[in-house]
Amino acid sequence: MSQPRIYPFGDTALVCEAPPPATLACQERVWAVTDAARKWPHVLEVVPGMNNLTIVFDPLAADAQALAAELALAWERAADAQMAAREVEIPVRYGGEYGPDLGAVAEHTGLSIDEVVKRHAGAEYIVFFLGFQPGFAYLGGLDASLHTPRRAVPRLEVPAGTVGIGGVQTGIYPAASPGGWQLIGRTALSLFDPAGTPPTLLQPGDRVRFVVEGIER
């Protein structure tokens, strides 16, 4: 794996960015370095992303060059990092009012509705990172035959729990919000509870499977 690029993000943050593509091995390094950096003195926050992480530090107490060197060393040490993964099942009702774009995905892919559901629910997904909104998990592992572009015109409101496909990824909207992904189903599970410990149902590294509760036509 190539060395990451480490560069300043303003006066109070550093970004550690690995070159594409996004892979599980790269994300495991990101998670391992994130865990390590959270223990360093003068680091205020660590934010993992896809192929990258950002550390926010106290500029009056920390030495940015020393932190950059520590980041590079931590990346090297994380070469063989592997995280213990939880397995999480997400029950989904596909199609109908729950997934109004299921037919559009079937048309785009040339598959039947039943085959789209079968392939979507038949894969095992990895939570690469959380972003966009609290608890929104970007999942790696979508079958290539299901890759479907985002909608040309985003919806003003997507209901909480909606499962969608956006390009090469699938994900679940934890809360109602605007969104441009192709909506194929919905789960009744709550993905974000600010009073919970932790507040998000899914965490980076979790392995996710969708369970078919039904298909509406």
Strand 5-8 and strand 52-57: the pairing is unpaired
Residues 6+ apart with CB under 8 A from 209: 87, 88, 89, 90, 121, 123, 124, 125
Domain total of the chain: 2
Q: How far apart are CA 190 and CA 125, in angstroms?
A: 18
User: What per-residue confidence (pLDDT) applies to 214?
Assistant: 96
CATH code, domain with 34: 3.30.1360.40
Strand 43-48 and strand 52-57: the pairing is antiparallel
Same domain, 108 and 52: no
CATH code, domain with 124: 2.40.100.10
User: What per-residue confidence (pLDDT) applies to 82?
Assistant: 67
Query: Are 126 and 141 spatial neighbours (Cβ–Cβ below 8 Å)?
Result: yes
Residue 28 sits in which domain range? 5-77
Same domain, 68 and 139: no
**Which positions of the chain have pLDDT values less than 50?**
none
Task: Give the C-alpha distances (Å, rounded to integers) separating 148 from 45, 101, 145, 165.
Answer: 35, 11, 9, 7
Query: Are 137 and 202 spatial neighbours (Cβ–Cβ below 8 Å)?
Result: yes
Domain boundary among 59, 77, 95: 77
Same domain, 42 and 92: no
Domain boundary among 44, 77, 110: 77
pTM above 0.85, yes or no: no
Same domain, 51 and 101: no
Q: How far apart are CA 121 and CA 85, in angstroms?
A: 19
On whether residue 101 sits in a domain, the answer given is yes
Same domain, 46 and 141: no
Same domain, 57 and 160: no
